[in-house]
Amino acid sequence: MVIPGLGFAALGAAGLMAWAVRGRSSNLLSESVWRGPSGHRAITLTFDDGPSESTPAVLELLARHGARATFFQCGCHVRRLPDITRSAAAAGHEIGNHTDRHPALYLRSAAFIRDEIARAQASIAEAAGAPPRWFRPPYGARWFGLRAAQKAHGLTGVMWTAIGRDWTLPPTAIVERMKRATRPGAILCLHDGRELRHRPDIGPTLAALAELLPWWEDEGYELLTLSDLLCRPN
């Protein structure tokens, strides 16, 4: 027997679950932000999956334009390249937690999620000199147990206003995506690593940055760390 409306209810539940896991504005599975206040002409540029051997080139470009960024780093890479994490922190950039080994968190146990976050938190704190206050889940996917794990470490989740898809797009397309998304309070996501790869090729990211950084300057935008963007008075 078919119960009237059951199919629509199932579809609705599936849609709600998908939004809870991946929706940028969802707070159902963990506390999370995806944009900052719009009262100032300021944005935050974030980088995921590092540190990598290519991160120093990103740091050099940012320094050239007086820009500050937030780097969401994986614990395994921090232990591999602690000097790069230290250099980023010493240059005034902020280091966030991106788990230890970049796994997708959905369908994982609460214990698995706690361990991934705790190991990365400890490794970053040792290298950077302070524990992160921001967390970005790999692939932007959250799951049950994440809220408690974030709370245990004083972390707030961070999604993004727009993501550059710089692991697959050419520089011109990355630039266009970022320009379209640029507005006061935007949190923009690029990558200085490629998941767990060593010595990744981030040439498209670097080429896009070389064009975007002077454009943001010309447009009058400040590039701030997440803490500066989200915690300053509006």
Q: Name the residues annotated as catalytic.
A: 48, 191
Q: Please report, for residues 49, 50, 152, 167, the alpha-carbon distance to residue 200 in angstroms, rounded to integers and kept in the order given.
A: 10, 10, 33, 10
Residue 17 has, within 13 A of its CA and on its CB side, a CA count of 10
Give the start-end residues of each E strand in the chain. Answer: 32-33, 42-50, 69-73, 94-97, 134-135, 156-158, 162-163, 187-191, 222-223
Cα(188)–Cα(213) distance, integer angstroms = 13
Q: What is the DSSP string of 106-125?
A: TT--HHHHHHHHHHHHHHHH
What is the token pair recorded at 143? Answer: 């799951």
Considering only CA atoms, give the Rg of the chain: 18
What are the beta bridge partners of residue 72? Answer: 48, 96
The DSSP element (H or E) to which 151 belongs, if any, is helix 146-152
Query: Tokens 């209810």 appear where?
Result: 9
